[in-house]
Amino acid sequence: MKRIIAGVDEVGRGSLIGPVYAAAVILNSNINKKELKDSKKLNKIKREVLAKYIKKNSTWAIGSASLKEIEQINILNASLLAMKRAIKKLKTKPTLVLIDGNKIPLMENYKLKSIIKGDQKISEISAASIIAKVFRDRLVTNLSKKFKKYSWSKNVGYGTKDHIVAIKKYGVTKFHRKTFKPIHNILSLKK
């Protein structure tokens, strides 16, 4: 039996806004793996080009966990839930799932293995990191059109100095993760 390997990575775990996303990718045998790198090591244009290439040459799926789920079950569990959803959405069931990091979701009838810095070592995980990052960045960029003051198009919702200053000045939006320390602390000061 041919081994079918899926790579999985999440994105947006450290962001202060929105859902967390994960991608699961099974690469076709004809794909050029030399191009695939950790999404954080690629510029935006290169990521966009590679995301299109990967989508054309693989079986892939996106999973997410909502802002409400993050607030209820915490970001780690929400990330694992997003991964689980992505894996289950794949049209082909993998024989082995390689996951970036040191934690894996609980899934019956799936063989899962965590790999620390997997996005730098395993092509399938690199591909998943690229697809997830491009997907989430597009959503955040669209959101940033309504919330220009927060510079989300630049900081993608992460806790940069400008973002924290904007939150203190303009307040917390419905997209902010209120259980995250910087937001929680700002809200506590306003009480």
Same domain for 172 and 127: no
Total count of domains within the chain: 2
The yes-or-no verdict on residue 191 having pLDDT over 60 is no
Print the domain residue range for 64.
5-144
**Would you say residue 105 has pLDDT above 90?**
yes
Do 169 and 135 reside in the same domain of the chain?
no
Q: Residue 55: is its pLDDT beyond 90?
A: yes
> What residues have CB less than 8 Å from 40, skipping those under 6 apart?
119, 129, 133
Do 92 and 104 fall into the same domain? yes
52 and 110 belong to one structural domain: yes
Residue 134 shares a structural domain with residue 153: no
Distance CA 57, CA 53 (A): 6
Same domain, 94 and 14: yes
Pair 112, 153 in one domain: no
* pLDDT of res. 1: 66
Percent of the chain whose predicted confidence (pLDDT) is above 90: 85
Is it the case that residue 90 has pLDDT exceeding 80?
Answer: yes
- The reported pLDDT for the residue numbered 125 is 97
Do residues 156 and 16 touch, judged by C-beta distance below 8 A? no
Can you give the CATH number for the domain in which 40 is found?
3.30.420.10
Residues 48 and 162: their CA atoms lie apart, in Å, by 26
Question: Are 74 and 140 part of one and the same domain?
Answer: yes
pLDDT of residue 68: 96
Shared-domain flag, residues 109 and 172:
no
What does the pLDDT look like over 128-178, one tens digit per residue? 999 999 999 999 999 999 999 999 999 999 999 999 999 999 999 999 999
Q: Could you tell me if residue 74 is left (phi over 0), alpha (psi between -120 and 50 degrees) or otherwise beta?
A: left
